[in-house]
Homo-oligomer: A and B are copies of this chain.
């Protein structure tokens, strides 16, 4: 299975700020949506993890803002898993605008935790779907 997934994000007013550009925190919402779609394509549904007694939480986020995006832009988000173990998944993303300019590059480290938010080993069948 290919290791890359592409999603699309149209920019509305609620994403922007009075600097005239997309507000920096809102890209993290786009990243949540992008990695959710990536995982669902592989048959991993966040809400089904709970039946295994685990969940994924963000332990680290890095994001480099390369150029601004604006109201009405159509962003393309490329998402891939750059590495993973039984306890962590690392996602990398590249966000481009409709002209092909790079808007952001970002990296998220997700940890597998139990329902008390303590680190936990990922169920084997979930782990296998990541390959």
Binding site for B on A (CB under 8 A): 12-14, 16-21, 23-26, 28-29, 32-33, 36, 45-47, 55, 57-65, 67-68, 70-72, 117
Contacts and interface: CB of A to CB of B under 8 A. Distances in A.
A61 B24 contact: yes
- A interface secondary structure, majority: mixed
A24 B28 contact: yes
Copies per assembly: 4
Instruction: Indicate the member of A13, A29, A46 with the most B CB atoms within 10 Å.
Output: A13
Contact of A60 (B25, B59, B64): B64
28 contacts: A12-B32, A12-B36, A13-B17, A13-B46, A16-B18, A17-B18, A18-B18, A18-B20, A18-B21, A18-B70, A19-B57, A24-B32, A25-B25, A25-B28, A25-B29, A46-B71, A46-B72, A47-B71, A57-B65, A57-B68, A59-B64, A59-B65, A60-B62, A60-B63, A61-B63, A62-B62, A67-B117, A68-B117
